[in-house]
Structure 1
Amino acid sequence: MSLKRFLLVRVGRLLTWPVRRQLRRFEQQCENPQAVQAAVLDRILRKQANTGFGRDHHFAEIRTAEDFRKNVPVAPYEYVAPYIEKVQAGDTNALLADDRVLMFALTSGTTASRKLIPVTREYLAAYRRGWNMWGVKMYRDHRGRRIAMRPIVQMVGDPDEFRTSAGIPCGNLTGFTAKVQMRLIRRLYAVPHETGKMKDALAKYYVALRFSMDRNVSQFMAANPSTLVQLARTLDSQREGLLKDLHDGTLRGDLDIPAAVRSVLAPRLKPNPARSRELAAAAEKLGRLYPQDVWPSNATIVNTWTGGSMGPYLRQLPPYYGDTPVRDLGLLASEGRMTIPMANSTPSGVLDILSHYFEFIPEHEIDAKQPTVLAAHEITEGGSYYILPTTLYGLYRYHISDLVRVTGFLGRTPMVEFLGKGSRFANLTGEKLSEHHVTKAVDAVLKAIPQPITGYTLSPVFDDREPYYAIFLEESDATNAGQLRQFVTALDRELGVQNIEYAAKRESARLGPIRTKIIPAGTWAKWDAERLSKTGGASEQYKRPCLIGDANFHATMPVTRTI
């Protein structure tokens, strides 16, 4: 071990000592989740009692969890949106006791508008605590790989896409946290945070690789494994240009990189002819250049989501990255971290009971007028539930639509895995498409293009090279091929308008264009009758789903042809 490496490891151990102690304490607290959660809820209510939301919902009068449930409804983002709009305009106390909002984290919403989640100092404290405990446990489990204090490949987004009327930045949370990270840790990130300003997908992947190829990378980190698949494919397809740039210390001039970003990146690049020749020789011998050919798989780890619909992408990782461990990042979103995985190769993680107060609704009761609501200590192994976090930064009994299953317990605290976004969502690569997005898009396009539609449903279709969404239409609606193609092209574009995440996945080639799958006339009437007989209920109240999130749905339909 070199002196520099030795010193870095020693510094790393000093920096992580408080986190190691915190992790031990957390594991002890998991023995009594009921008491820990009661204290978390009390702290939230006491702190936020004098905010506009707190006064409107009588926080000062709440003494028990039952009082809390009577005063605050289970609700999605739209319920809290009016308060957040006031915060955007500068009235922080409408929702938050904090005197300052650092930024708004942007995420796609269940309606046409994007969600803005306020990021405060309390938010960052909880966010960092969860990440730190996740990281320390992950490092401790992989001591033999010596990954500590070695570079990490992680691409980030733009933390400052736009500003509110009060001047508060709105953008990507990972871009913001990378920017405000302590200098020593920030140096471990191979990809400069300034790349968040780049929009072109090819340029972004290329630059990430250019800055990583001559570093001793230990980890590849991305929320969605499809990002890592695309990164690996870009490395192979662009290897000639990358090796030349590595040799010369340059960055291709034809890449779509904003001038201001290029001016920051270019001076940081140094020529490395020896590394370029080494990798060129490997590429010549193998006829390819994959991540495992650049960074040995016995000294790296992949950190990414493994639950929900991620399976098909996870199966594509080994050919590119080799036999490297895969660690789930946990159930986390712009709304906050909800679980901390404690082992490899599983999406299951222990509830982060220190950061948020959690409630759960059994899966089969989600549409009931008065569903059963359970606390964290009341849910049972094997049960499937919708998770409802209450946070210190303005989200209360928040219906995020995440469906989870209890896989076991750490002490007495549930371990849960993410199953999906529920029946009203589809999520192949992180686009989180909702039925609302689909119906709004179809209605908008039909106003301009009079495509006949007897009935339709949109559903994801997984394909190794290019997954896509298919719209299922009956044969009688497909007599005008030209009009149908025009309609589907416009629908694909309009879905991107309704859901910016869908647009981003299409732009980055992680999703292909919508295709039409033609089914025989009368199929929908038969399908509806069969579904109604299984689910029960009155026919006059029945509504065919316009979005089915099952990627295997297409295999159950009598498709005669695909356009």
Structure 2
Amino acid sequence: MKTNTPNDAAAQFMAQGQELMNAFMSGAHNCRQTQLDLLRSILQKHGHTQFGTDHNFDDVVTYDNYRNQVPLQDYDSLYPYMEKHLQGIPDQLVSGNPCYYATTSGSTGEPKYIPVTTEQRSGAHKGSAMLWSYSLACNSPEAMQGNWVVIVSPAVEGYAPDGTPFGSTSGQYVKDLDPAIKAKYSIPYEVYEIADYDARYYCILLLGLADNNVSLVSSTNPSTLSLLCNKADDMKERLINDIRLGILDKTLVLPEAIRKLVEDRLTPNPERANYLEQCIEQDEEHKLRPIHYWPDLEVVATWTGGNSATFIDKMQAWYGKVNIKDLGYLASEIRGSVPLDLNRGDGVLTIEDNFFEFIRTDEIDNANPKTYLADEIELGSQYYLFFTNKAGLYRYNINDIVQVTGFVGNTPKIVFVQKGKGITNITGEKIYEKQVIGAVKQAEFDCQIQVNFYHCHADLQSNQYKLYAEFEPGYSTQEHAEFADAFELHLQKLNLEYKTKRESLRLQPAAVHSLSFGALEKFKRARIAGGVREAQFKTVPLSMDKNLLASFTVETIYQSLSIKESAA
């Protein structure tokens, strides 16, 4: 049997990419029909499921039927069906059972299990990824010439009660790559499965720094890319020594099989080690930066929309002004857009994979807000996005706000703006209001301390959650400090992604800002002066709005302990 060579794989990839792009563009010029055909197909395939029976899918003939018979959904409303799937009971949300679950943060602290079907994984996930890669190859052929340093999470992080795996869809995609394409990846997939953060980062950095032919670097969040650079600079002597000798630090904690895999990729390379030392000497601040050690780097692939834009400048201080290829509107629940251009954050809606509905942001609080189809939304306007997909999510509210930036044919191009109500997100953790409320309540109980008023601010500049709190008078500074530690600890317990981001140092420990007495009254007066009716006044447990901090007078700041101390 003939072995597929990298050149063969590249030629096959370009041919398949062109075919996919032609079909994608054809659909984009007939948005309404493409969307209605998709909806009809989904309802026919899953009409016999429990959800389909409960909502009379068999009676749906038009979109108006669907809208009238199926209320807008969220994870909580779908969970009773999902729970049965997790136990192995078929035909609940989808025909049969999901083949995989993507996981993401849930409002209760438990992860959300997002169903993935075989059809979706082989079609929507791989197809959209190929369109993205094909457009990259067309826009920057040079990015395809060298090797790629790609950061993903493990494909399998555990198993549902019925034995179905769950984890990261991006990790699954990398794991399933054609071997010839996978050969371009500087980091073998198994490295992403290393449980110890320090060991995982070290192996990624060692293999990446040892490679002098890197043309693309990718991670969903630019803050991760900056963090890796900081770590590389902090450990530069150690890393360069290992590259010089062709070894992997023996003190690292990782499985022997993965250690051997990494060591097999290393050979003594004093020439590369000397080059890296020269990079440090020539840098004005004597830092080790990828702009120097990867001179052939053409593209950084990452998110640029929403909060991610805040981190781009910091990232470019390390990587230089290279081209950026946005990864698109992408979440565990959906791959919602495919960016086709470099240095733009917008992408074309994936109308062949997801049936989209939209509600204007200024109409979302109406008793019966109007929903708009994809070909009805307007340039420049912002909307809450809802979708129906091939894997059991129906009229699903992902609580995201997007903006229309243009059109391909009559299909919109969108960019992610921000999470909707009640959720903040600095670097992927997605904190819910109810999690902040729960962490405060539990910290009050643990410390036997009373908080009269509080507001949690997600601070993009410091990568930190700051709890502004008015305590009942009479407590000591020691008690306030203990409360800060307890709040941090319980926020980690309530949100697994927050805990992960803290462990990996992408977020700083939470800080409690003790406010002067009367803070609640001052806050209320400021809100009313700003136009809020007194009868409608509410406190705001969680926000990213700096304007809400204007009335606060901070007396003392209590920084919680480090992750290892607070979790002890």
Q: Give the TM-score band, short-chain normalised.
A: over 0.9
1:8-23 alignment, distance < 5 Å = 8-9=6-7, 11-23=9-21
Match of 1:140, SS?
Answer: helix
Task: Give the match for residue 173 of structure 1.
Answer: 169
- Which among 497, 504, 507 is matched to residue 493 of structure 2? 497
**Does the C-alpha gap of structure 1 residues 33 and 82 become closer, same or farther in structure 2, counting only changes over 3 Å?**
same
Task: Give the match for residue 72 of structure 2.
Answer: 74
**Does the C-alpha gap of structure 1 residues 253 and 520 become closer, same or farther in structure 2, counting only changes over 3 Å?**
same
Alpha-carbon distance between aligned partners in 1 of 2:547 and 2:425, rounded to the nearest angstrom? 13
Note if 1:289 corresponds to 2:288.
yes
Note if 1:547 corresponds to 2:542.
yes
Counterpart residue type for residue 284 of structure 1 = E
Alpha-carbon distance between aligned partners in 1 of 2:147 and 2:453, rounded to the nearest angstrom? 52
Asked if the contact 1:362/1:385 (under 8 Å) is kept, the reply is yes
- Which among 194, 199, 218 is matched to residue 198 of structure 1? 194
What is the Cα deviation at residue 270 of structure 1? 2.5
Match of 1:336, SS?
Answer: coil
1:369-448 alignment, distance < 5 Å = 369-448=367-446
Asked if the contact 1:462/1:551 (under 8 Å) is kept, the reply is no
1:139-150 alignment, distance < 5 Å = 139-143=137-141, 146-150=142-146
Task: Give the match for residue 223 of structure 1.
Answer: 220
Deviation per residue, 1:36-56 (Å, 9 max, x gap): 111111111111101111111
Counterpart residue type for residue 274 of structure 2 = R
Alpha-carbon distance between aligned partners in 1 of 2:515 and 2:231, rounded to the nearest angstrom? 37
Asked if the contact 1:453/1:477 (under 8 Å) is kept, the reply is no
The CA RMSD measured in Å over matched residues stands at 2.0
Match of 2:91, SS?
Answer: helix
What is the Cα deviation at residue 404 of structure 1? 0.7
Task: Give the match for residue 306 of structure 2.
Answer: 308
Deviation per residue, 1:57-81 (Å, 9 max, x gap): 1111101111111111112111111
TM-score by length of 1: 0.93
Task: Give the match for residue 562 of structure 1.
Answer: 557
What is the Cα deviation at residue 282 of structure 1? 2.2
**Does the C-alpha gap of structure 1 residues 352 and 477 become closer, same or farther in structure 2, counting only changes over 3 Å?**
farther
Q: Which stretches of structure 1, 4 residues or longer, exceed 6 Å deviation after superposition?
A: none
Counterpart residue type for residue 306 of structure 2 = G
Alpha-carbon distance between aligned partners in 1 of 2:539 and 2:133, rounded to the nearest angstrom? 44
Task: Give the match for residue 4 of structure 1.
Answer: none
TM-score by length of 2: 0.92
Asked if the contact 2:246/2:269 (under 8 Å) is kept, the reply is yes
Asked if the contact 1:425/1:549 (under 8 Å) is kept, the reply is no
**Does the C-alpha gap of structure 1 residues 223 and 180 become closer, same or farther in structure 2, counting only changes over 3 Å?**
same
Alpha-carbon distance between aligned partners in 2 of 1:478 and 1:245, rounded to the nearest angstrom? 56
Match of 1:401, SS?
Answer: strand
Note if 1:157 corresponds to 2:144.
no
What is the Cα deviation at residue 339 of structure 1? 0.9
Alpha-carbon distance between aligned partners in 1 of 2:128 and 2:435, rounded to the nearest angstrom? 32
Match of 1:497, SS?
Answer: helix
What is the Cα deviation at residue 265 of structure 1? 2.9
Alpha-carbon distance between aligned partners in 1 of 2:205 and 2:506, rounded to the nearest angstrom? 18
Alpha-carbon distance between aligned partners in 2 of 1:551 and 1:206, rounded to the nearest angstrom? 36
Match of 1:282, SS?
Answer: helix
Asked if the contact 1:360/1:385 (under 8 Å) is kept, the reply is yes
Counterpart residue type for residue 192 of structure 2 = G
- Which among 271, 276, 291 is matched to residue 273 of structure 2? 276
What is the Cα deviation at residue 172 of structure 1? 2.0
Asked if the contact 2:451/2:471 (under 8 Å) is kept, the reply is no
Task: Give the match for residue 351 of structure 1.
Answer: 349
What is the Cα deviation at residue 532 of structure 1? 4.2
Deviation per residue, 1:371-413 (Å, 9 max, x gap): 1111111111111111001100010111100111111212211
**Does the C-alpha gap of structure 1 residues 544 and 242 become closer, same or farther in structure 2, counting only changes over 3 Å?**
same
Counterpart residue type for residue 252 of structure 1 = D
Moved more, 68-77 or 530-539: 530-539
What is the Cα deviation at residue 343 of structure 1? 2.1
- Which among 357, 363, 366 is matched to residue 365 of structure 1? 363
Alpha-carbon distance between aligned partners in 1 of 2:367 and 2:306, rounded to the nearest angstrom? 27
Alpha-carbon distance between aligned partners in 2 of 1:426 and 1:551, rounded to the nearest angstrom? 13
Task: Give the match for residue 565 of structure 2.
Answer: none
Note if 1:506 corresponds to 2:505.
no
Asked if the contact 1:460/1:551 (under 8 Å) is kept, the reply is no
> Could you tell me the percent identity over the aligned residues?
32
**Does the C-alpha gap of structure 1 residues 532 and 63 become closer, same or farther in structure 2, counting only changes over 3 Å?**
farther
Q: Which segments of 5 or more consecutive residues in structure 2 lack a partner in the other structure?
A: 559-568
Counterpart residue type for residue 390 of structure 2 = L
Counterpart residue type for residue 211 of structure 1 = L
Moved more, 395-404 or 14-23: 14-23
What is the Cα deviation at residue 121 of structure 1? 1.4
Match of 2:386, SS?
Answer: strand
Match of 2:209, SS?
Answer: coil
Alpha-carbon distance between aligned partners in 1 of 2:549 and 2:235, rounded to the nearest angstrom? 34
Deviation per residue, 1:458-489 (Å, 9 max, x gap): 011233xx521101123755842111111111
Asked if the contact 1:19/1:132 (under 8 Å) is kept, the reply is yes
**Does the C-alpha gap of structure 1 residues 8 and 261 become closer, same or farther in structure 2, counting only changes over 3 Å?**
closer
Asked if the contact 1:358/1:376 (under 8 Å) is kept, the reply is yes
1:127-146 alignment, distance < 5 Å = 127-143=125-141, 146=142
Match of 1:415, SS?
Answer: strand
Match of 1:317, SS?
Answer: helix
Task: Give the match for residue 3 of structure 1.
Answer: none
State the aligned residue count. Answer: 550
Alpha-carbon distance between aligned partners in 2 of 1:351 and 1:263, rounded to the nearest angstrom? 43
What is the Cα deviation at residue 319 of structure 1? 1.5
- Which among 318, 321, 325 is matched to residue 320 of structure 1? 318
Alpha-carbon distance between aligned partners in 1 of 2:419 and 2:397, rounded to the nearest angstrom? 11
Alpha-carbon distance between aligned partners in 2 of 1:543 and 1:50, rounded to the nearest angstrom? 44
- Which among 450, 465, 471 is matched to residue 467 of structure 2? 471
- Which among 99, 107, 115 is matched to residue 112 of structure 2? 115
